[in-house]
Every structure is written in structure tokens, then in C-alpha cells.
């Protein structure tokens, strides 16, 4: 396939996707070119648009296309409760429970020294400033119950305690070792009620 | 994430990729937007270029950007041997053995009645015409040793036999149930030598 530089370039580009190796990339490229060119064009456009339009909410750091995300713009939310989650997917899981009416701070990651992810990468300073300045009475640490999620929650709880901010953690109803977005909604709702 | 229609569109578009479900698509979108916007732009361009430029070789049906692929243009290849493979990846695996100097016909699939893939989809008429008309002395059926690959080889061998064309099949050194592109090169080379 030496004369198919567009095909080779596509296979290499598909390998930028997480979890996609050479064989998967070949299969994806073959599928799109042989069976779904419309899908290839659609994905091309969706990538360009998302990469161009999606940015971070100024307040909570989640993905949004405006200055502020919908939740942060919603005046009916309880500003005294701030829920800290790792990713927009985790936030969406929490929202689907319907059990939380407060606001969020989305870390867009978690502390991971081995991967070079430090306090700055998760917006820790902005989170601390926000927890202190906006009448927040409780910060719910809803990071994952993985080693890194726990370490992130621990570091945040210590820093917030020093500033006199009350923190809680989701109850351990959430299975240890799992990530929030994969947990069933009832368990999340229960863990929220039992927060300590 | 209700206000992130570009993000939602990206997640839906990623689901067009084979083997990618909702969770994988979310992770891919998150990764690209959070950590690799350059990768998103690159993939966008690669998809548009490949979907626009890649077409099928007029002679062998493999992917190419010209009228004829490189192998078909190569005047040093042995025109008396025609090797039938399912995909460009299978052809590439055969080429890497260095053991075959003939030409190819790439089915771009295999007969699969359950998936609605019939003779027309794999270019069977063009293959039969080519096998009869170009001084071909042997057609090597190198479809996969799966149920569908075997059925495809069987159908082709019967049609070619009626036309007086000699066919061989790769020797059964290739593990049954496996697909050619995953087989080690030595095994493929051995199976080629032992073709019957
Ligand atoms: Zn926000
Ligand atoms: Zn060709």
C-alpha cells in the first residue's frame, strides 16, 4: 500500500486515539473507506468543529462552547454546595442521578505524579479560591475511588481544611477501584446521601 | 453537557468507528479535546483527505490514489500468478513475506450472505474475467481460513475450474480460524510454498 499516502496518514492519525493500535487503526480506516465514507466525512467535520469550538467553562472548567456552561449559568442551583469531579463524564453521571442541586468544579483529570499531572493541571488554585470566596459551605469530593482519585481527594481535603472549608466524600457505597462514570445511578445517589 | 453540541456531535461521530461504543467514544473525545487538539485537527484532515483521494485500483480493486496501484503498475511482477486476498491488509502481509512475485486481486471483503455481502460486492465477475483473459496460469486463493473465507475460496475454485483455470489454496500451515493479517510471516511463506 506504498502509494496510498492518504490511507497511511489516516491510519497513523487514528492511532492518536486512546486505546487504538496499528491493527485497530487499519480496521477503522478500511471500514470507513470501504463501507462508510459519509461517516469519515462526518467525523472529519465533527473533529474540526469540536477542536475549534469547545473550550473550558470559566467557572467550573468543564467543556462548554460559551463563556459559562449551562449548570454554572443556572441561577436555581444551590451555590452553597460544590461538587468536585474528575471529568465531564463523571459530572454527567452525577447530574443523571438528579440527587445533587449544587454546582461543580471539574478537575479535567486527577493528580498523577507519574503521568506528570500536578496541581496546576487540575486547576487546584482556582478551586481553592472558589471554595473560599463564594459562600460555599460544603465541598463534596467526588473524585474516583481509585488510588489517584483518593490521593487527589485527600490532598484537596487537607488544603480546604486549612482554609476552614468543610469537605465531604461520597460514601463508600461506590465500589472501590471503580470509576464514577461506570457506577449505577442508584449507588451514586445512595453514596451521595451517605456522604461523610 | 447539554450546551456542548459540538462535543456531543463528536462523540456520536466517533461511534461510527467499528468497535467503538458510547464510553469509548466519550473517552476518545475527552482525550482529544483535553490533551491532543493537534491530534484532533490532524485526524480531521486525514479523514477528509483519505475520503476524498482514496479509490480502488482499476485492476486489483485495492485502495490506491491513482488509476492503478503500485503492484499493478510494476512490470516486473509475474503475470501468470494471481493471488486472491480479502483485504489490503492481507495483501500487505503477503507482500511482506517477499515470497510472492505475482499479481493480486483484492476482494475488499468476502462472501457473507448473513451480512448481505454477495458476489457483486467482492467483484467476482471482474476476477473471473481477469483470470481468463490475462495469461493467468494459476489463481492462488489466499482468503482467510475462517468459515466465510473458506466458503469464498470454495465458490471461486468451482467457478474458475469450470473456466479451466487452475486454482490452489494456501497450505493448511495457516492456523484454522485465524485471519491472514495476524499470521506470522514464516507461516505464511511456508503455506505459500506448500500450496496445493
Ligand atoms: Zn461551568
Ligand atoms: Zn492494483
Q: What is the pLDDT of residues A62-81, one digit of tens each?
A: 999 999 999 999 999 999 99
Nearest to B33 among A17, A27, A54 (CB): A54
In terms of CA atoms, which chain B residue is nearest residue A117?
A: B35
Query: Nearest CB to B65: which of A3, A16, A39?
Result: A3
Query: Across residues A149-168, what is the average pLDDT?
Result: 94
Give CA–CA dist B54/A142, Å, rounded: 47
The fold adopted by the segment(s) A6-53 is Helicase, Ruva Protein; domain 3 (1.10.8)
The 10s digit of each residue's pLDDT in B25-80 is 999 999 999 999 999 999 999 999 999 999 999 999 999 999 999 999 999 999 99
Q: What's residue A191's pLDDT?
A: 76
Please answer yes or no on whether A16 and B42 come within 8 Å at the CB atom. Answer: yes
For residues A164-172, give the mean pLDDT: 86
- Domain B78-169: assigned CATH number: 3.40.1360.10
A93 contacts: CB under 8 Å, gap ≥ 6: A180, A181, A183, A185, A188
Q: Where in chain B is the domain with CATH 1.10.8.420?
A: 6-53
Residue A2: band (very low, low, confident or very high) from pLDDT cuts 50, 70, 90:
very low
With 60 as the cut, is the pLDDT of residue B1 above it?
no
* Ligand 2 centroid, distance to B78 Cα (angstroms): 14
Q: Is the pLDDT of residue A51 over 60?
A: yes
Share of chain A above pLDDT 70, in %: 95
What are the tens digits of pLDDT across the range A171-191? 766 776 777 778 878 778 777
User: How far are the Cα atoms of A18, A21, B29 from residue B9, in angstroms, in the given order?
Assistant: 19, 24, 10
Give the residue from chain A lying closest to B65, CA to CA: A4
Alpha carbons A122 and B193: distance in angstroms, whole number: 59
Determine the average pLDDT of the residues in A87-114: 92
Say which DSSP state B145 is in: S
- Whether the per-residue pLDDT at A103 is higher than 60: the answer is yes
pLDDT, tens digit (0-9, with 9 covering 90-100), for B97-146: 888 999 999 999 999 999 899 999 999 999 999 998 878 999 999 998 88
Residue A25, pLDDT score: 96
* Mean pLDDT, rounded, of chain A: 90
Overall average pLDDT of the B82-90 stretch:
93
pLDDT at B153 over 60: yes
The alpha carbon of residue B46 is apart from the nearest alpha carbon of chain A, in Å, by 5
Pick the more confident residue, B184 or B69.
Answer: B69
pLDDT of res. B194: 74
Residues of each domain in chain A carrying CATH 3.40.1360.10? 78-169
Residue corresponding to grid cell 459562600: A135
pLDDT above 70 (res A29): yes
- A25 CB neighbours in chain B (<8 A) are none
- For the entire predicted model, the pTM comes to 0.82
Which of A1, A40, A108 lies at the smallest CB-CB distance from B88?
Answer: A1
The band of A135, judged by pLDDT with boundaries at 50, 70 and 90, is: confident
Amino acid at each position: 500500500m506504498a502509494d496510498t499516502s492518504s490511507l497511511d496518514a489516516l491510519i497513523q492519525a487514528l492511532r492518536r486515539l486512546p486505546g487504538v493500535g496499528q491493527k485497530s487503526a487499519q480496521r477503522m480506516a478500511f471500514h470507513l473507506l470501504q463501507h462508510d465514507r459519509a461517516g469519515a466525512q462526518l467525523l472529519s467535520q465533527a473533529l474540526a468543529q469540536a477542536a475549534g469550538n469547545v473550550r473550558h467553562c470559566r467557572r467550573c472548567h468543564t467543556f462548554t462552547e460559551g463563556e459559562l456552561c449551562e449548570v454554572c449559568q443556572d441561577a436555581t442551583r444551590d451555590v452553597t454546595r460544590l461538587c468536585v469531579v474528575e471529568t465531564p463524564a463523571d459530572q454527567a453521571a452525577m447530574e443523571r442521578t438528579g440527587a445533587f442541586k449544587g454546582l461543580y468544579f471539574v478537575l479535567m483529570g486527577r493528580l498523577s505524579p507519574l503521568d506528570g499531572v500536578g496541581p496546576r493541571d487540575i486547576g487546584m488554585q482556582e478551586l481553592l479560591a472558589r471554595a473560599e470566596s463564594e459562600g460555599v459551605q460544603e465541598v463534596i469530593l467526588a473524585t474516583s475511588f481509585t488510588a489517584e482519585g483518593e490521593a487527589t481527594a485527600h490532598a484537596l481535603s487537607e488544603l480546604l481544611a486549612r482554609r476552614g472549608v468543610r469537605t465531604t466524600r461520597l460514601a463508600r457505597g461506590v465500589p472501590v477501584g471503580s470509576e464514577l462514570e461506570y457506577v449505577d445511578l442508584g449507588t451514586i445517589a445512595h453514596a451521595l446521601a451517605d456522604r461523610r
